Amino acid sequence: MTYESYRELGLEIRDRVLTITLNRPDKANAVNEPMHEELARIFQDAALDDDVDVIVLTGAGRAFSAGGDVDWFQKMIDQPSAFEKTAAEGRRIVFSMLDCEKPIVAKVNGHAAGLGATMALFCDVIFASDKAKIGDPHVSVGFVAGDGGAVIWPQLIGYARAKEYLMTGELIPATYAAQIGLINYAVSNEELDVRVDEFVARLQAGARKAIRWTKVSVNIGLKQLAHSMMDASLSLEAQSNMTDDHQEAVNAFREKRTPVFTGR
């Protein structure tokens, strides 16, 4: 397997571990259109790579991922048909992570928002810096949380808490996220690399097929749920793409002000 076509993702294989790095540090690793395209195929490529046993997902610089890129948001507003491609890729991101038999470990080195949070939470085990915050602020930009957040949050923390955080877009400190079961561990920033490396080494020392097939077994119910929800949630997100409130949120972000929503 070669990864020469990837530009927005940093990819490194060492000791049969593939580290995938969201690599737009100057933009807090906000996902733009090219990165979204690459995320829609990297987990399938990694699943087929015989030289990889474990996958680590992280971000470059101080952030894990700020979510979606605002310029890309504007393009989808101006060209609504572009959302069809985005939705198809969004489905592939979630299902390729769920279908990949190899363990995927999230190393959340900084804030993880929106799609960044969704990808982190669909990983199998999640370590985060205690300086990080995690949240899904789709509603803060007038968007439906349709890219997988509506699927995974209730499974991790229950429906009441999930609806609270998804309907407000609040970012949660990693220490509290670990307390309520949203992530596995919040550790000091200085310990993050070591703790992830230790856990990855534990997986590598285990019975590889038993570990992979245990993941497959656990994911059966989650995949059934995702298949029942993703098309509808992405469709609702596409509808919200056309609202005045979403355009207002994009305008406000660019103008560095608080959006004024009107419910339209």
pLDDT tens, 193-250? 999 999 999 999 999 999 999 999 999 999 999 999 999 999 999 999 999 999 999 9
pLDDT tens, 85-118? 999 999 999 999 999 999 999 999 999 999 999 9
**pLDDT for the residue 68:** 95
In a domain, 151, yes or no: yes
In a domain, 205, yes or no: no
**pLDDT for the residue 126:** 99
Beta-strand pair 172-173/54-59:
unpaired
In a domain, 80, yes or no: yes
pLDDT tens, 114-158? 999 999 999 999 999 999 999 999 999 999 999 999 999 999 999
**Does the structure show a pLDDT above 90 at 1?**
no
**pLDDT for the residue 28:** 98
**Does the structure show a pLDDT above 90 at 2?**
no
Whole-model pTM: value is 0.97
Whether the Cβ atoms of residue 175 and residue 200 lie closer than 8 Å to each other: no
Whether the Cβ atoms of residue 29 and residue 64 lie closer than 8 Å to each other: yes
The token pair at 173 is 């400190």
In a domain, 90, yes or no: yes
Residue 111, burial from CB neighbour count under 10 angstroms (0-12, 13-18, 19+): buried
Measured distance CA(69)–CA(21) in Å, rounded: 17
In a domain, 124, yes or no: yes
- Kindly state the percentage of the chain with pLDDT values over 90: 99
* Residue span of the structural domain in which 153 resides: 9-191
Q: What is the CATH number of the domain that holds 122?
A: 3.90.226.10
Whether the Cβ atoms of residue 183 and residue 134 lie closer than 8 Å to each other: yes
The token pair at 211 is 């570990």
Measured distance CA(93)–CA(88) in Å, rounded: 9
Indicate the number of domains in the chain.
1
Q: What's the average model confidence in pLDDT over 255-261?
A: 97
Torsion of CA 174, 176, 180, 185, to 10 degrees: 40
pLDDT tens, 161-192? 999 999 999 999 999 999 999 999 999 999 99
In a domain, 250, yes or no: no
In a domain, 244, yes or no: no
**pLDDT for the residue 236:** 97
The full DSSP string for 203-226 is HHTS-HHHHHHHHHHHHHHHHHHH
Within the chain, where are the H helices? 33-48, 70-78, 82-99, 115-122, 149-157, 159-168, 174-179, 192-204, 208-240, 244-255
Whether the Cβ atoms of residue 181 and residue 156 lie closer than 8 Å to each other: yes
In a domain, 223, yes or no: no
* pLDDT-derived band at 16, boundaries 50, 70, 90: very high
